[in-house]
Amino acid sequence: MHISLPPDFADPDGSRPLRIAMVSVHTSPLEQPGTGDAGGMNVYVLELSRALARRGAQVEIYTRATSSAQPKVTDAEPGVRVIHVSAGPYEGLDKNDLPGQLCAFAAGVLRAEAHRPEGWYDVLHTHYWLSGQVGWLAAERWDVPLVHTMHTMARVKNASLAPGDAPEPQGRIIGEEQVVAEADALVANTEQEAADLARDYQADPARVHVVQPGVDLGVFSPLPDATERDPAERDQALRDPAAPHRQLAELRKGLMLPAGRKIVLFAGRVQLLKGPDVLVRALGEPIWSEGDGQPPLLVVLGGASGRPTAVRELEALAYQEGVADHVLVRPPVPQRTLARYFQAADLVAVPSHSESFGLVAAEAQASGTPVVAAAVGGLCTVVEDGVSGVLVPDHEPESWALVLKSLLDDDEWRARLAAGARDSATRFGWDRAAEQMLEVYEDARKHHATR
């Protein structure tokens, strides 16, 4: 199907901006993260594109159409355009079904670009291995450098599968190997991911660049401190030690959460990889009978991913563990509402079995909430153990129950970690990530010129 692209972005002074094509086959950056195949990669692609546009670049993001109601072309904001390409049926396909639609998707991308003058794009940046397969073809056709971000890798995931989870297929591993071999530059979220690329995929270290994702610090921020309010409110708050508690109570009331309970928050897709079942089992540990005699309230913000019954299975597990009254499952929410949930929680838990970065952990810390995370992958970079949160060395429910209870019983410890979380979050910003990515693009162009 032909996609008729609108005229070029306005360019009143006649200058030639950097033109970037991004490809995100299996999930649109406009989709709500937290359900289906939508997650941190959606946020990554959109926020990076926005930051690049603020630097004068023009970004066009190609993604697969999942509804007939979607406009073929959407200007997300000045400098960022999303192009929905029809490839296969709109509904009923998850990312495991998409390899069979890559030919159709690639044809749609090439047709769209064919109506532009030759040499339109300067660089092609693909996300996840499915997009890399399309980008490999398009970059050769357009004679532009190919930059690829893996986001997750099959060999890394297969090395740390959750119990009962299915391994990634050999076809994906072969596809990833092909993209690694063809890319002019590979972008890793952390030094650990860069090492994984070199070890597991024999990537040339000279072509691997570490660019840490960012956090929208304007959206994700702590509850206002008493010293940051206007003078009248500040003076009243400083005279009233209970003011912060009332502020938290009002926030929880707005979110329909109990004011008098400890709250642990899980935000993400409900699937074995992300480990919400670890938290439910942790609530069933006998250690909670000590103290006030009940576990905290576990709030799960997320939808089913992989299996349509994933949420019902998690709720059934809570019933089996005898903690159904202590687990509250809600659908995913927009970014600004998510920030309020982070502010309202005592702790944010990220028990993933594999994580290339851990954007939820970074956003929670930016909101001033300590994070308890599994000591895997990029989480070891995002969460500073003992400074902004605590890293748990395994996925045993007993280990998680012990760490969570120790933190929830110690208000001073949590307060120190909260302060460290706020400081730690300043390491991550999308503007900084965009500046570094522009350098990667330039290196990729130089490498492409020599091939």
> By C-alpha distance, which of 12, 108, 124 is closest to 60?
124
Task: Please name the residue ranges forming H helices in 224-275.
Answer: 231-239, 243-254
CA-atom Rg of the chain in angstroms:
23
The sheet with strand 263-267 has its strands ordered as: 327-330, 297-301, 263-267, 347-350, 371-374, 389-392
Phi first, then psi, for residue 263 (nearest 5°) are -125, 130
Q: Is 317 helix (H, G, I), strand (E, B) or coil?
A: helix
Q: Is 19 helix (H, G, I), strand (E, B) or coil?
A: strand
> By C-alpha distance, which of 139, 166, 142, 170 is closest to 155?
170
Q: Which residues are annotated as a binding site for 1D-myo-inositol 3-phosphate?
A: 26, 37-42, 95, 128, 152, 172
Which token pair is 19? 């033109």
Q: Which residues are annotated as a binding site?
A: 26, 32-33, 37-42, 95, 128, 152, 172, 269, 274, 333, 342-343, 345, 355, 363, 369
73-77/80-85 β-pairing: antiparallel
Q: Which residues are annotated as a binding site for Mg(2+)?
A: 342-343, 345, 369
Q: Which residues are annotated as a binding site for UDP-N-acetyl-alpha-D-glucosamine?
A: 32-33, 40, 269, 274, 333, 355, 363
**Angle value at C-alpha 239, between 233 and 245, nearest 5 degrees:** 75
Q: Is 306 helix (H, G, I), strand (E, B) or coil?
A: coil
Q: Which residues of 95-109 are buried (b: 16+ CB within 10 A; e: fewer)?
A: beebbebbeebbebb
